[in-house]
Chain A
């Protein structure tokens, strides 16, 4: 009896500790940032958001993240398809390399892009001769975002490809459909949930990206300054209310995306 009683106290202690830890680590910081951004009332919040540099940074981030997500959806679906459907030398190696952008520190990723596309590199000087600039301009930011979010779509599409019912596809072939038509009307619809949730995860990660972008963007206010770098600048200049205000715009956006993705996945599981 005594032992049972003691173990009950123990488990109660464990439960409270774990739950308290969870709430303190995750919930309280998020509540904190929302309250901080309204700490001086609505007007300063509105002023921080309507600062042209701030909303330009947010718009630029959304635009470039969208481009990066679309690029990733295209190449990700293709690579997922190739890695799952065809047998070729080096397939397993490539399949493991997919995760490298997740394992690599983002600052190292940024440095790589800077070295490869920078003004002293082969590609950089070639582009300069042709009259367009990469590093410290928008293309470099997109490249950094694509690199960092590369695995998302591939990893979301692969399980769907594996469980795909081959008989439907074969039926389509037998009835004389071309490969392209089969892909568009049979295969792609069943990949769509993966493509969408992978693409949205890539989008939200690209919105949030800092390390890879800060090194290659040049960070010119109003031109190549993206939201997370803008927030960093505000923190450095001790304007925590302004930083928090722009943060919650970005955060709310990401939370919405996350919510949609979880809805899409829940629907797929319940099917």
Chain B
């Protein structure tokens, strides 16, 4: 049987993953190197890539901070009853079940220009929907569980005895965190960061709804790819897609590395 399964596995990988990757590459280079660099040096492409980068950075930082704290509370806190922890734990998974489009719609419904909160903020001169803050909130919503889901199992596994020992010996909570907890969860956090980054820069549906996809203003790299395809500008779409694909492959390598380190520690 071995002789059958291995070639079939290879075949599926080649058809489903390797050929598409190669096709993006040849597609982007279809008009030669010049076509590729033209596609990328368009002002809207540069702006879109910058937006994607900015959103990714902001969201990853916020998610890491709140993700680490929330997982500490959900695993360790004595001020939360067991039932409540279980409830919060299931609520945490909800963004995974929500279609990105619906995630975006939720933000528009809550903070859009027609809502009470949205018009209030609008009068104060802050626009959320169809602007940068809304895009960040939408991406935060979609990516929030990733970090917590990586850290919680590690915290559960290491147990709290070392931390308790540290605080019995008189260490303050910050000190305990940095000296005892952090070294144990470090690789889990790094793995979570990589996953969050991957999901952030690839986010499409939620950002499309919230941003309004305004060229040179709220357009991100993925929504630019979408717009280029809709405008039958396939070579340009390919150029941007190649950059994104290369970035994902890089992240995938990073993931493998972090996973290996995580297993060692």
Contacts and interface: CB of A to CB of B under 8 A. Distances in A.
Given A26-B92, A115-B24, A100 B248 contact: yes
B105 A116 contact: no
Closest 8 CB pairs of A and B: A105-B202, A208-B99, A29-B106, A112-B20, A254-B97, A211-B204, A210-B205, A103-B248
B58 interface: no
A97 interface: yes
Given A33-B106, A33-B109, A108 B141 contact: no
B109 A108 contact: no
11 contacts: A11-B173, A25-B141, A79-B9, A97-B18, A106-B204, A107-B226, A111-B237, A111-B238, A228-B99, A240-B112, A258-B94
A138 to B, nearest CB: 18
Interface stretch (B34-42, B182-190, B251-259): B251-259
A147 B16 contact: yes
B1 to A, nearest CB: 6
A30 B94 contact: yes
Interface of B: 1-2, 5-6, 8-10, 12-13, 16-21, 23-24, 27, 66, 69-70, 73, 77, 79, 88, 90-110, 112, 137, 140-141, 144, 172-173, 198, 201-205, 208-209, 221-223, 225-226, 229, 234, 237-238, 241, 244-245, 248-249, 251-253, 255-256
A211 B6 contact: no
B24 A228 contact: no
Most buried by B among A32, A103, A114, A147: A103
A251 interface: yes
Interface of A: 7, 11, 14-15, 18-19, 21-22, 25-30, 32-33, 36, 75, 78-79, 81-83, 86, 88, 90, 94, 96-97, 99-116, 146-147, 150, 179, 204, 207-211, 214-215, 227-228, 231-232, 235, 240, 243-244, 247, 250-251, 254-255, 257-259, 262
Contact of A116 (B1, B23, B99, B173): B23
A235 B204 contact: no
B109 A113 contact: no
Contact of A232 (B95, B208, B223): B208
Nearest to B65: A18
A150 B20 CA distance: 14
B106 to A, nearest CB: 4
A30 B99 CA distance: 12
Given A210-B101, A251-B98, A36 B109 contact: yes
A90 B69 CA distance: 40
B10 to A, nearest CB: 7
B175 to A, nearest CB: 11
Given A86-B6, A108-B225, A255 B97 contact: yes
Contacts of A179: 1
B9 A94 contact: yes
Given A106-B205, A250-B102, A255-B94, 8 more contacts: A15-B79, A82-B5, A96-B256, A107-B222, A108-B225, A111-B241, A116-B19, A254-B99
A58 B263 CA distance: 42
Contacts of B209: 232, 235
A250 B222 CA distance: 24
B225 A250 contact: no
Given A78-B5, A115-B24, A247-B105, A208 B98 contact: yes
B86 to A, nearest CB: 10
A111 B208 contact: no
A26 B248 CA distance: 27
B140 A258 contact: no
B112 to A, nearest CB: 8
A126 to B, nearest CB: 14
A108 B222 contact: yes
